[in-house]
Amino acid sequence: MLKIGVIGGRETVMGFKALGLDAFPVTDVAHAREVFGNLTRAEEQEYAIIYIEEGYAQALSAEIDKFKDSPTPAIILIPGRDGSLGLGQSALKAAVERAVGSDIL
């Protein structure tokens, strides 16, 4: 069975843990990069969806871009405790534009 993981600051991910998702609290970009690499390792493919806090996603954009055209894992950006940086909305807009062929949002 495929899983859902959440990467971000402790305050961000612990609510998801209460919902039964796999939570991976990280303290810095290096740790986030390591966790993201472990979750996306090709030989495992355990995670269908990975939520990642926008602040960390910004620093890991090169790694995340490798998965933008693959169905799994779906990488979804979520706001951190300080609020949204607008990256999640931008990513959604770009995905819709690729799928539809024009900007409908």
**Tens-of-pLDDT digits for all 105 residues of the chain?**
889 999 999 998 998 998 999 999 999 999 999 999 999 986 667 899 999 999 899 899 999 989 888 888 989 888 877 755 555 555 555 555 555 566 655
Cis peptide, bond prior to residue 79, ω within 30 of zero: no
For the entire predicted model, the pTM comes to 0.78
> What are the domain boundaries of the chain?
3-100
Q: In angstroms, rounded to a whole number, what is the distance separating the alpha carbons of residues 65 and 72?
A: 13
Q: Which amino acid makes up residue 34?
A: E
CB 76 within 8 A of CB 49: yes
Integer-rounded Cα radius of gyration of the chain: 13
Q: In angstroms, rounded to a whole number, what is the distance separating the alpha carbons of residues 1 and 54?
A: 27
Closest CA to 16 of 80, 93, 65: 80
Superfamily grouping for domain 3-100: ATPase, V1 complex, subunit F (3.40.50.10580)
